[in-house]
């Protein structure tokens, strides 16, 4: 609830600090005293559009700070958490500074914020019915949430949100598979030909390097063969200097002892190396003479490998992997119908679950809507709206309009004359009627929801007597669980106040005028103000007696 309001340099207000309580808080005073300025000031702190004309004459800026005490589960926590603003001790400070140039700045708990965020938070804290009302019942977009809160559907709606998200996720997955399937079908012929080409080619990893090396040898085949033959001839000659040297040393081995041992071991190794070299050269000669490919065949295969590599935008060594990948894609196409059908079934199952829950919520809304209609209509007769009708209209949405809130469109409609069709409140009711419709509905429905403070600006305009008393009784009933601030000219309403302030205007130096607000804490003070409201400027004893009677009756 609103706990404090600090106003500086707003129109007629120089400086004011007001401490609020819960219950019915009433502001009275003569016309023009500045009661509306008080609401304008609070509106600034709540994010209402600012104008430079609100800055008091002679001041360079106006400043308004509103302090709220909120519950730990208030929606403002979520709004501010997204902006990295944290609330301590459940206290929330909303501040607005408006400069004479027209610019303004907003703060929440002394941290700069956008005007948009300030208004979002302000709307969650206070609902104002008056000259700058832009929220609540006049906005059909809020009607569904109001009915759901009144019907206690919060848990059901949480489940519905999950079901909606599951259905939408299933739809997205199905649509992705369907799109992939369509594109794959268009590419199926290409894939089959590509797989067939690669299967026929049968590429092997490292094949290009081997073929390139063989190609180089084949290009110089005759010359290489001639060199290999010459090498073999020398290695196969009857005159083997290594063997002859080893034989010569072997003849004198006994006479030389261990002196020639290492030399003979080296000659033995050399003989083995030469024998191995002879074998390798002979093998190379055989491979070259009996090669599987000729030069023309190697060139043709290398060309085919390169062409396939360019086609698939990869290295020739990656062609075996590419073949495997294309085969997997082809298999996916061949089994896509089964996969898509499975996801279609999952999607339909999710839709049925969402629709079943939505229909249950819709039935509950219609049941509670009928009860709400009867309760509101029962409140209208004492408010001089006995011929009026209140209708909670619940229409089924087209499937394209379904959402996280279900399959219904909820609207609160009214008809003020018998036989007339119900329509939107702001289009059917006059200003005074609209305020009383608002009050009647709020008395019934405002017990739910996070908004704890309600402001009514002259809800009693144009009425008096029993009707004004009925308005006061309903304001007091609403104030039994919510904080209600009322600007009123009706003594019947003022008499029911839990807390009463009088707004006055006085002249100061240089012809300047200022507005003051003073609490009326004594019974005598309240009686005198209510007597003024009854009698006007000339307060009589009869008026004072009537005022005292009103206060006693209200108590």
- Same domain for 147 and 188, yes or no, is no
Residue 402 lies in a domain: yes
Residue 58 is predicted with a pLDDT of 82
pTM of the model: 0.64
Three-state DSSP class for 440?
A: helix
- Same domain for 109 and 227, yes or no, is no
Name, in order, each residue with C-beta under 8 angstroms of 331's C-beta and a sequence gap of 6 or more.
none
- Same domain for 81 and 193, yes or no, is no
- Same domain for 192 and 331, yes or no, is yes
Q: In which domain, by residue range, is 466 found?
A: 2-152+384-521
Residue 374 lies in a domain: no
CATH number at residue 450: 3.40.50.300
Q: How many domains does the chain have?
A: 2
**Digitized pLDDT (tens) for each residue of the chain, 555 residues in all:** 999 999 998 888 888 899 998 899 999 988 877 787 888 888 899 988 887 788 888 889 999 999 999 888 888 888 888 888 888 888 899 999 999 888 899 999 989 999 999 998 988 888 887 644 545 567 788 889 889 988 999 899 999 999 999 999 999 988 887 777 777 677 777 888 888 889 999 999 888 888 888 787 777 776 777 788 888 887 776 667 877 787 788 777 777 767 677 888 888 888 888 888 888 888 877 877 766 567 788 888 889 999 999 998 999 999 999 999 888 877 777 667 777 788 889 999 999 999 999 999 999 999 999 999 999 999 888 888 888 889 999 999 999 999 999 999 999 998 888 878 888 877 776 666 777 887 888 888 776 555 678 888 877 777 778 888 888 898 998 888 889 999 888 899 999 999 999 998 887 766 677 888 899 989 999 999 999 988 887 888 898 999 999 988 887
Residue 322 lies in a domain: yes
- Same domain for 217 and 273, yes or no, is yes
Final residue belonging to a domain, choices 313, 339, 365? 339
Residue 132 is predicted with a pLDDT of 42
- Same domain for 36 and 125, yes or no, is yes
Contact 219, 337 (CB under 8 A): no
- Same domain for 486 and 439, yes or no, is yes
Residue 177 is predicted with a pLDDT of 78
Residue 349 lies in a domain: no
- Same domain for 121 and 266, yes or no, is no
- Same domain for 468 and 424, yes or no, is yes
Residue 479 lies in a domain: yes
Residue 113 is predicted with a pLDDT of 92
The strands making up 111-113's β-sheet, listed across from edge to edge, are 13-19, 2-10, 61-69, 91-99, 104-108, 111-113
Residue 157 lies in a domain: no
Residue 370 lies in a domain: no
- Same domain for 20 and 136, yes or no, is yes
Distances (CA, A) of 295 to 201, 246, 307, 344, 484: 18, 45, 18, 57, 100
Residue 99 lies in a domain: yes
Three-state DSSP class for 290?
A: coil
- Same domain for 112 and 198, yes or no, is no
Enumerate the β-bridge partners of residue 64: 7, 96
């Amino acid at each position: 609830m609103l706990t404090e309001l600090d106003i500086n340099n707003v129109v007629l207000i120089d400086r004011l600090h007001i401490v609020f309580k819960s219950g019915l808080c009433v502001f009275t005073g003569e016309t023009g005293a500045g009661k509306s300025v008080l609401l304008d000031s609070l509106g600034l702190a709540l994010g209402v559009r600012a104008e430079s004309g609100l800055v008091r004459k002679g001041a360079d800026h106006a400043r308004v700070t509103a302090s709220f005490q909120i519950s730990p589960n208030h929606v403002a926590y979520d709004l501010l958490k997204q902006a990295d603003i944290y609330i301590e001790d459940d206290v929330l400070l909303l501040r607005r500074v408006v400069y004479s140039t027209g610019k303004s700045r907003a703060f929440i708990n002394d941290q700069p914020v956008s005007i948009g965020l300030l208004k979002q938070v302000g709307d969650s804290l206070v609902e104002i019915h008056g000259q700058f009302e832009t929220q609540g019942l006049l906005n059909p977009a809020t009607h569904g949430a109001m009915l759901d809160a009144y019907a206690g559907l919060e848990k059901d709606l949480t489940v519905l949100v999950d079901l909606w998200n599951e259905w939408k996720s299933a739809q997205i997955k199905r649509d992705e598979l369907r799109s992939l399937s369509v594109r794959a079908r268009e590419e199926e012929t290409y894939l089959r030909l590509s797989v067939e080409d690669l299967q026929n080619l049968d590429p092997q990893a490292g094949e290009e390097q081997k073929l390139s090396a063989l190609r180089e040898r084949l290009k110089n085949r005759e010359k290489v063969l001639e060199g290999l033959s010459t090498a073999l001839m020398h290695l196969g000659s009857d005159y083997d200097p290594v063997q002859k040297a080893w034989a010569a040393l072997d003849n004198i081995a006994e006479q030389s002892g261990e002196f020639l041992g290492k030399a003979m071991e080296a000659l033995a190794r050399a003989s083995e190396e030469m024998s191995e070299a002879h074998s390798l050269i002979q093998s190379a000669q055989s491979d070259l003479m009996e090669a599987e490919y000729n030069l023309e065949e190697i060139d043709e295969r290398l060309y085919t490998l390169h062409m396939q590599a360019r086609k698939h935008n990869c290295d020739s060594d990656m062609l075996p992997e590419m073949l495997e990948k294309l085969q997997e894609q082809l298999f996916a196409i061949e089994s896509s119908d089964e996969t898509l059908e499975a996801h279609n079934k999952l999607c339909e199952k999710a839709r049925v679950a969402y629709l079943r829950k939505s229909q249950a919520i819709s039935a509950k809304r219609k049941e509670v809507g009928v009860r709400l209609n009867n309760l509101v209509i029962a409140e209208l007769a004492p408010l001089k709206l006995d011929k009026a009708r209140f209708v909670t209209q619940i229409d089924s949405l087209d499937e394209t309009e379904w959402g996280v809130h279900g399959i219904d469109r909820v609207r609160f409609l009214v008809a003020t004359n018998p036989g007339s069709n119900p329509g939107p409140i702001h289009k059917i009711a006059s200003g005074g009627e609209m305020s009383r419709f608002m009050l009647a509905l709020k008395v019934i429905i405002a017990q739910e929801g996070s908004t704890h403070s309600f402001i009514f600006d002259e809800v009693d305009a144009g009425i008096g007597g029993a009707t004004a008393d009925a308005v006061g009784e309903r304001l007091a009933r609403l104030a039994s669980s919510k904080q209600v601030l009322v600007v009123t000219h009706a003594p019947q309403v003022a008499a029911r106040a839990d807390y009463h302030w009088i707004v006055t205007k006085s002249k100061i130096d240089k012809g300047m005028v200022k507005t003051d607000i003073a609490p009326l804490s004594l019974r005598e003070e309240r009686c005198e103000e209510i007597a003024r409201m009854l009698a006007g400027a000339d307060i009589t004893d009869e008026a004072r007696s009537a005022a005292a009677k009103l206060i006693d009756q209200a108590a």
